[in-house]
Amino acid sequence: MENKAILVVSFGTSYPETRSKTIDIIEEELVKRFPDRTFYRAWTSGMIRKKIKERDNTVIFSVDEALDQMEKDGITDLLVQPTHLVAGEEYDKIMNRICANQNRFQSVSLGEPLISSFRDVYHVARILESRYSELTDKDMLVLMGHGSAKLEFDAYEELKRQFNKDGHDNYAIGTVEFTPGIEPVLEKVNEFKPGRVFLTPLLLVAGDHATNDMAGDGPDSWKNQIEALGPQVECHVRGLGEFPEVVKMYIWHAEHASVIK
């Protein structure tokens, strides 16, 4: 007899306000979509799991710990859906752990991150263009992504191409870690000379990067670096996971997960 489970894997966040609006909502919607599967959660950030345990006395599994628990519970059919945005190093770690342990289950399926194909790029672009439809031709939208040392599919570059294709030359994307960094954003602000910049995270949750690196008071925050060039900056500290359209994309990825065993 099959004993089915869904494991939702996130990087994690220590900000409860943004977690309740993003990760928790995605998990709840996946549970609704797959009512025949027992729900399990795992976070890939050991630092955040440790902080949550010490601060909130809440234990959140690592991927390996979740796999151990599911095997103890007699799970035979496993569906894994990450909430990561791109197929970078963090996603590779998940794949490696799942593939290394696939023989512990009869069937294993793995869903892709949010932006894993040209189809995903198209839909994310449409979501953001709709959300910021009030921009005038004198405004700019700046998106702060995380970045990755390795990308099988360069979601950031493809998203920029889609924005340009859609006629949004006043959109710019940078990353807080790895290349391209903030430099292309500052160059575009200098070139475009907008009167107003809408600054928002291209991240699932509006956690530490969005609160401090993007919208913080320090001189190196993206807000202050952009303001130093002249425009008024309006920060929208809101993770992509707060958009219902994005949640639906994660559901779609889970529904179209690839069977690896």
Instruction: For residues 149-163, give the mean pLDDT.
Output: 93
> What's the topology of domain 118-240?
Rossmann fold (3.40.50)
Ordered by start, the domain boundaries in the chain are: 4-114+243-259, 118-240
Task: With 0.85 as the threshold, say if the pTM is over it.
Answer: yes
Residue 1 confidence class, pLDDT cut points 50, 70, 90? low
**Length reported for the chain:** 261
Q: Let me know: does 60 contact 43? Beta carbons within 8 Å.
A: yes
**Catalytic residue list contains 168:** no
Nearest-CA neighbor of 255 among 44, 33, 10? Answer: 33
As a whole number, mean pLDDT of residues 213-223 equals 97
For residues 215 and 160, the answer to whether their CB atoms sit within 8 Å is: no
The answer to whether the 4-114+243-259 and 118-240 domains have the same CATH topology is: yes
Catalytic pick among 84, 123, 146, 253: 146
The class (CATH top level) of 4-114+243-259 is alpha beta
Confidence of residue 52 (pLDDT cuts 50, 70, 90): very high
pLDDT in tens, 26-36: 999 999 999 99
- Residue 12 neighbours by CB under 8 Å, 6+ apart: 23, 43, 44, 45, 48, 49, 52, 60
